[in-house]
């Protein structure tokens, strides 16, 4: 017996398909095969390689995870809601998902394995290093910072000899400037929490990644960031994180 979809069902199915965002995907070759990186929203992104999926800072604030694979690894950078979202973690995880996080995130109730600044962990063909991320000067009040040193993690993720840096919420700290051999970097630039585009460009100039993406930028002028690096060999790639 041949079954047919009703007109109502067809319209619903078509609407579901058109509701899926056209996600910009960047692909990078490595000695272990390609790494695909998908911006999701604001500070959230997904990495895929070798049949494994890493979700970084999954958050449901305006983000759409429909149609995306479940995570083998989840990395969380900080306790703020655009980085730490328990409902998003539950949505993208599966049985056996490894959650790596700072202790401050564990203390907020998201179960996972703590990775402190300066520590690293091998996960299959991935190596994940926790890098400091913090404010130098900016904060909500006199003597307070939006991000205290040691509370959150940036991450350097290595796969097939390529090094990918997710800065998290940070200013142009000495630890960022001292990084070596970064192939791809994701750098924040939004006030009052992190940096201006010009400050971000100055920090990026110090460690000179081959490729850099502005992210976590909201209404910042990413073209000003690109212009400030125009005299370098750094490949500045502008992607719409708010599609």
- Give 56's DSSP letter: E
Tokens of 147: 């991000």
DSSP string, 171-238: -S-HHHHT--S-SEEEEE--TTTS--HHHHHHHHHHH--SEEEEES-TTS-HHHHHHHTTTSS-EE--
- Parallel, antiparallel or unpaired: strands 211-215 and 184-188: parallel
Report d(CA 154, CA 233) in Å as an integer. Answer: 24
Cα 10 to Cα 7, 13, 19, 72: the distances in Å are 5, 5, 14, 34
Please tell me the class of the 22-236 domain: alpha beta
- What is the predicted pLDDT for the residue at 15? 40
Per-run averaged pLDDT (10 residues), the chain, 243 residues: 44 41 89 97 96 96 88 97 93 97 96 97 97 96 95 98 98 98 97 96 98 96 98 97 87
| Tokens at 58, concatenated | 């999954």
Specify the pLDDT at position 64: 86
> According to DSSP H, which parts of the chain are helical?
7-19, 86-92, 103-107, 174-177, 197-207, 222-228
- Residue 199 and residue 27: Cα distance in Å, rounded? 27
Encoded tokens for 171:
């200013």
pLDDT of residue 9: 42
Domain ranges of the chain: 22-236
């Amino acid at each position: 017996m041949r079954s047919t979809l009703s007109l109502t069902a067809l319209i619903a199915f078509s609407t579901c398909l058109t509701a899926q965002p056209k996600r910009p995907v960047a692909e990078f070759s490595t000695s272990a095969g390609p790494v695909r990186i998908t911006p999701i929203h604001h500070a959230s992104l997904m990495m895929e390689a070798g049949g494994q999926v890493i979700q970084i800072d999954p958050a449901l604030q305006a983000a759409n995870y429909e149609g995306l694979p479940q995570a083998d690894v989840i990395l969380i950078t900080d306790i703020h809601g655009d980085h730490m979202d328990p409902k998003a973690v539950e949505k993208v995880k599966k049985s056996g998902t490894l959650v790596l996080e700072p202790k401050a995130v564990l203390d907020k109730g998201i179960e996972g394995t703590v990775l402190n600044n300066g520590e690293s962990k091998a996960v299959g063909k991935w190596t994940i290093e926790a890098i400091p991320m913090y404010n130098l000067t900016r904060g909500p009040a006199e003597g307070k910072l939006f991000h205290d040193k040691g509370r959150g993690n940036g991450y350097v993720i290595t796969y097939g000899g390529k090094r990918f840096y997710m800065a998290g919420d940070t200013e142009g700290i000495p630890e960022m400037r001292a990084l070596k051999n970064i192939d791809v970097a994701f750098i924040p630039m939004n006030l009052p929490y992190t940096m201006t585009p010009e400050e971000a460009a100055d920090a990026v100039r110090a460690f000179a990644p081959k490729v850099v993406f502005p992210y976590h930028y909201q209404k910042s002028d990413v073209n000003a960031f690109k212009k400030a690096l125009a005299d370098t060999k750094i490949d500045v790639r502008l992607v719409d994180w708010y599609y």
